[in-house]
Homo-oligomer: A and B are copies of this chain.
Amino acid sequence: MTETTATDLLALHETMTLIRRTEKAAHDLFLSGLVKGTTHLAAGHEAVAVGTRSALQDGDYAFATYRGHHHAIAWGATPEECLAEFMQRSTGLNKAKGGSMHLTKAEAGMLGSYAIVGAHLPIAVGAAWSARLRKTDQVSVAFFGDGATNIGAFHEALNLASVWKLPVLFVCENNFYMEYTPIASVTGVGNPAADRAPSYGIPAEVIDGNDVVAVRDAVARAAGRARAGDGPTVLEAQTYRHYGHSRTDPAKYRPDGELERWLERDPLTVSAGRLREAGTSDDDIKAAEDRAAAVVDQAVAGAKAAPQADLSEAFTDVWADGGAAWRT
């Protein structure tokens, strides 16, 4: 078990705050017309990304979904790179060619956000296979939603990972909804990810996805097994998204009081509570939060000031030579 000191926890709390503030900024920029296209905010899910990253090592891989801002930031993307991407600036994380759904920070091992539900699970398995082939000690993590557990790629990925005993972690962020439909209404089992794991011979845990320490501990256990050559683990982190599915969704399908109940267990509230228990002063907590807020304020200003996407980029990066030539 990884020990989590108060100092560690304060850093985690700060990173989670950074994510929360970035999401809020993205939302506000959308309302003011500066963010276009679609965004899927992860406010509420912060502890899963941050807890996972904190239990892993540099060089470990992450594969995320269209709801991937928190994973990108947890793996080291800056809020400014992200906001600049949403705002179609040339300084965007993906040069404004990917957008909110495809945040990627490859140099940090965050190998992309994928917008076809479930598609990245086999890809994450492949990265784990590669780690094994190259005899590195790397672990690969696939983050995905509850809804992704009903698609074929989920099944194929888990089976292959099991058979080849690969160092991969399947981290489900079960927020109980697909887009607008409760997952329970379309799934044959109660815990959509964890209850499936036995059918691949993979161990699983259902964990509190709003408690960054619980996530961190579970991931540490799973990563340990993976590095020891004991194969994959399924972690089902129960959590909740504070906003609707995407920017156009007012989330009217939620029963009265549901959001409120989850807000009581907001991951930031939980971590703040843990910090206080561990003796961290309110001032120290506030200072961390203020640092995060300041970073995001600067990020907004920086992204706004950045140049628009460079038109010539439309025809670069198709091929490894940098170009897009398809004919002689």
Which residues of A are interface residues toward B (Cβ below 8 A)? 150-156, 158-159, 162-163, 185-189, 195-196, 198-202
Residue of B whose beta carbon sits closest to that of A184: B163
A-B contact pairs, 16 of them (CB 8 A): A150-B156, A151-B155, A152-B153, A154-B155, A155-B155, A159-B188, A163-B186, A163-B188, A188-B201, A188-B202, A189-B199, A189-B200, A189-B201, A195-B198, A198-B199, A199-B199
Q: How far is the CB of A323 from chain B (nearest CB, A)?
A: 35
Is A151 a contact partner of B156 (Cβ separation < 8 A)? yes
Q: How far apart are A203's CB and chain B's nearest CB, in angstroms?
A: 11
- Taking chain A's interface residues, is the majority helix, strand, or loop, or is none over half, making it mixed? helix
Which 8 pairs from chain A and chain B are nearest by CB? A152-B152, A155-B155, A162-B188, A188-B200, A188-B201, A199-B199, A196-B199, A150-B159
CB-based contact B199/A187 at 8 Å: no
User: Of B151, B185, B196, B201, which is within 8 A of A152 by CB?
Assistant: B151
Residue in contact with A163 in the complex, picked from B152, B155, B187, CB distance below 8 Å: B187
Q: A159: which of B185, B187, B198, B201 is its contact (CB, 8 Å)? A: B187
Please name the residue on chain B nearest to A197 by beta carbon.
B199
Residue of B nearest to A165 (CB): B188
How far, in angstroms, from A315 to B159 measured CA to CA in the complex? 42
Chain B residues contacting A199 (CB-CB under 8 Å) are 188-189, 195-196, 198-199
Q: Contacts of A156 on B, CB cut-off 8 Å? A: 150-152
CB distance from A121 to the nearest CB of B (A): 11
With A152-B156, A188-B199, A195-B199 known, 10 other A-B pairs at CB within 8 A are A152-B152, A158-B188, A159-B188, A162-B188, A163-B186, A163-B187, A163-B188, A189-B200, A189-B201, A199-B199
